Amino acid sequence: MTDRKRILTGIRPTGALHLGHYAGALENWLRLQKEYECYFLIADYQVSDYADDIDTVREAVFEVALDWLGVGLDPEGSHFVIESMVPEHCELALLLSWYLPLGMLQRNPTLKSELQGVSDEGNNVAFFFYPVMQAANILMPMAHLVPVGEDQLPHIEMTRELARRFNRRFGETFPEPEGMVGRFPRLVGLDGQAKMSKSLDNAIWLKDDPETVKRKVMSMYTDPTRLRATDPGHVEGNPVFMYHDAFNPDVAEVDDLKERYRAGRVGDVEVKQKLAAALNAFLDPIRERRAAFAAKPERVKEALAEGSRQGKARAEQTMALVRERMRLEYLK
Ligand code: ATP
Ligand code: MG
């Protein structure tokens, strides 16, 4: 154990990762992984919407780990933890839920929007409970910082409230964790409508090959008011330019394209070709590292096993303290 401040953050194993994960979260993880002691969690207790599709979850555990390794997260310096290999998460979530008024969960805007349109019969109790699991994930290693996409902020707010309540009642135990969103807290999907998401078929995956990236970019939604290349176009709110801003490091090229687009002096094709080239240059080293690890599945398994062992050791310490503070050690 080190005395660096700690990060806990995670991803559900429901599929491979995309550019939205990178711009919204992973980029911060990469930047902070040396400065903080990091727990990167594969949140496989929080996939109750995939309860009938465990094959997908099993596969996604490795897909997520490969994407992490591909972007350059370092399992030597950080801990890659599989949530269910640390069952203490369940215990802490349950104990925390004693101090969480039902109304606070019902008012959580992210949960509310995720539950919208699904009947009470069509939903399971575990889905309703996942923000509490997330609070337990964050508090377990006593994390100080939680770098995530914007949709997760209400869960972090609830976690802070739970930490305060616990500390007030039982004495200073948990640090109050801070949320941190990335440069692009909510990267829009290829459709220009919803956020890029694993489940909406509007993503460029980090593992997409160069041809696929090109094809997806060429079919992207742009400025619907622009019919000809000579019409003045809108840059703001245009997903093609958002991706340029997020992933094209050649600022002069992007500025030039924007200027000509606004003036009606460049066609969508050129803007998109340059975007595809920039994205492929960004993704090349990620794909290369990912493929190298995919060829050595034993190394990936070892990283997950070792990280989970370390997560478990930390959790045992936390739970011993929590039980002591709550006076749940009846036989001592
Ligand atoms: P699912 O549809 O299965 O919920 P997801 O794409 O929302 O998948 P999560 O595992 O729920 O992925 O989220 C992982 C992290 O990535 C979270 O911090 C989330 O906020 C962030 N994230 C996901 N999509 C985006 C996006 N389009 N832009 C910015 N951040 C994102
Ligand atoms: Mg999600």
Q: For residue range 143-185, what is the model confidence (pLDDT) as tens digits?
A: 999 999 899 999 999 999 999 999 999 999 999 999 999 989 8
| 125 shares its domain with 240 | no
Does residue 241 form part of some domain?
yes
Instruction: Find out whether 35 and 29 touch, Cβ atoms under 8 Å.
Output: no
Whether 196 is covered by a domain: the verdict is no
Does residue 199 sit within a domain? Answer: no
CA of 147 to the centre of ligand 2 (A): 14
Give the pLDDT of residue 2.
61
Angle formed at CA 299 by CA 212 and CA 79, multiple of 5 degrees: 95
Does the Cβ of 155 fall within 6 Å of ligand 1? no
Cα end-to-end span (Å), the chain: 27
Instruction: Categorize the per-residue pLDDT at 118 as very low, low, confident or very high, splitting at 50, 70 and 90.
Output: confident
Q: For residue 223, is pLDDT > 90?
A: no
* Ligand 1 nearest-atom number relative to CA 17: 6
- Give the whole-angstrom CA distance, residue 29 versus residue 25: 7
* CATH code at position 304: 3.40.50.620
User: Which residue of 151, 181, 202, 243 sits with most ligand 1 atoms within 8 Å of its CB, as the best mutation to test the pocket?
Assistant: 151
Is the shortest distance between the CB of 16 and ligand 1 below 6 Å? no
pLDDT at 97 over 90: yes
**CATH number, domain with residue 247:** 1.10.240.10
How many domains does one find in the chain?
A: 2
Residue 222 domain boundaries: 210-290
State residue 34's pLDDT score: 94
305 and 216 within one domain:
no
Domain identity same for 98 and 114:
yes
Domain assignment present for 202: no
187 lines ligand 1 (CB under 6 A): yes
Assigned domain for 197 exists: no
Q: State the pLDDT at residue 3.
A: 81
Domain assignment present for 264: yes
SS3 20: helix
H-helix or E-strand containing 82? strand 79-82
Nearest Cα neighbor of 38 from 30, 47, 50 is 30
Residues 175 and 64 in one domain: yes
User: b/e map of 22-40 (b: 16 or more CB within 10 Å)?
Assistant: bbbbbbbbbebbeebbbbb
Residue 180 within a domain: yes
Minimal-distance CA residue to ligand 1 atom 13: 11
pLDDT in tens, 34-89: 999 999 999 999 999 999 999 999 999 999 999 999 999 999 999 999 999 999 99
Shared-domain flag, residues 63 and 149: yes
Residue 272 beta carbon below 6 angstroms from any ligand 1 atom: no
Choose one of 68, 153, 198, 247 to mutate for the ligand 1 pocket test, by most ligand atoms within 8 angstroms of C-beta.
198
Domain for residue 309, yes or no? yes
11 and 56 in a single domain? The answer is yes
320 and 282 within one domain: no
CB crowding 288-305: b at 16 or more within 10 Å, else e? eebeebeeeeeebeebbe
130 and 153 co-located in one domain: yes
